Amino acid sequence: MSTLHSSVKVGPYTFAHRVVLAPLTRMRAEPGAKPGPLMAEYYAQRASEGGLLIGEATIAAANGNGYLGAPGLFEDSQIAGWKRVTDAVHAKGAKIFLQLYHAGRQSNIDVQPAGSIPVGPSEILHGGVAYTTEGWVPNTPNRALQIDEIKALVESFRTAAERGIKAGFDGVELHGANGYLVDQFLQDNSNKRTDSYGGSIENRTRFLLEVTQALISVWGSDRVGVRVGPSGTWGDMGDSNPEVLFSYVAQQLAPLNLAYLHLIEPRILGNIEDENANPAPIAAQLMRKHYKGTIIAAGGFNGESAEAILQAGDADLVAFGRHFIANPDLPERLRQNLPLNAYDRPTFFGGTEVGYTDYAFHAVAATA
């Protein structure tokens, strides 16, 4: 048996295989940022006996969205929709972790409450786009957060995590990558603060650690994961010394007894492969030096490269994105070395069941 299809322990859970559904922004939530039946069907399709799914980026605070159609857990009214999703996943014998995020400066006033200005660590002009009723539009220039607002956002993550328990999730992951708010605090091209949340690496890591501890206070450390993107540049991000920064992040997270550390390889920009990046999985290789707990690697993997990183010991599980979108039965296809459906990039974000729940399972495709 391959390592990819061997059992693995993650926090209090034992999984039958190491093929993880990556958290994938699909923007199919109903009005009010509420998951509907279509989302429940999508996740149920990708659930397998003994498998792990990580839910898509879910808004933790009312001002935390950057995409029309993204789901939330910043209000109690959103719990029921997510409970429909988790029940559907559990019925298939799988577990699902909630991923919480705040878009920060990666937003537009059209998806902000009452048309308010997006927030971030510092007021810095940058590129990037948000998704609104007008489609993909430039981000609105943000304002800098005040200290009391930062404290309030930490509390927002904590209360969203509490709602996640009521919604039936099995754990929670903090999204600290992809140019969103936590990442904006970490990297020094987006964080020019001179207070306790800026300047030194220790200060820039403070927000990530405070939110992580807030999630731990709700879930316990062994059901909390953290996702980061070492050397990630998506969203006009960058740092003057990323290796030192993210090594420090790993060192600070290592003693917390987390369920896992989830790493995005820099060879992926958003959902597109960066042809100029190192094709090898360098993020996991770097972070393994400082983090001996469970690591999930993500970013451009196929069955062969996933097996290789597991064999090398740099990761313990591998999260798949684009291939899992197009192949709801991906774990079984990889186990049997079956051909994969091609993914349709134009239907990744927003829309209907097309490119969402209409991809064929292998048995269906074989008899069509």
User: What residues are labeled active site?
Assistant: 180
Token code pair at residue 235 = 């969203």
Q: Under DSSP, is residue 131 helix (H, G, I), strand (E, B) or coil?
A: strand
Ramachandran bin of 206, using left for φ above 0, alpha for ψ from -120 to 50, beta for the remaining angles: alpha
DSSP 242-308: HHHHHHHHHHHHGGG--SEEEEE-TTEETTEE-TTS-SS-HHHHHHHTT--S-EEEESS--HHHHHH
Residues with Cβ < 8 Å from 358, sequence gap 6 or more?
Answer: none
DSSP 40-78: HHHHHHT--TT-EEEEEEEE-STT---BTT--B-SSGGG
Token code pair at residue 344 = 């349709």
Q: Under DSSP, is residue 195 helix (H, G, I), strand (E, B) or coil?
A: coil
Contact 318, 20 (CB under 8 A): yes
Q: Sign of the CA dihedral 336, 279, 314, 308? A: positive
Strands 268-269 and 171-176, by their bridges, are: unpaired
Token code pair at residue 350 = 């927003």
Residues with Cβ < 8 Å from 116, sequence gap 6 or more?
Answer: 63, 109
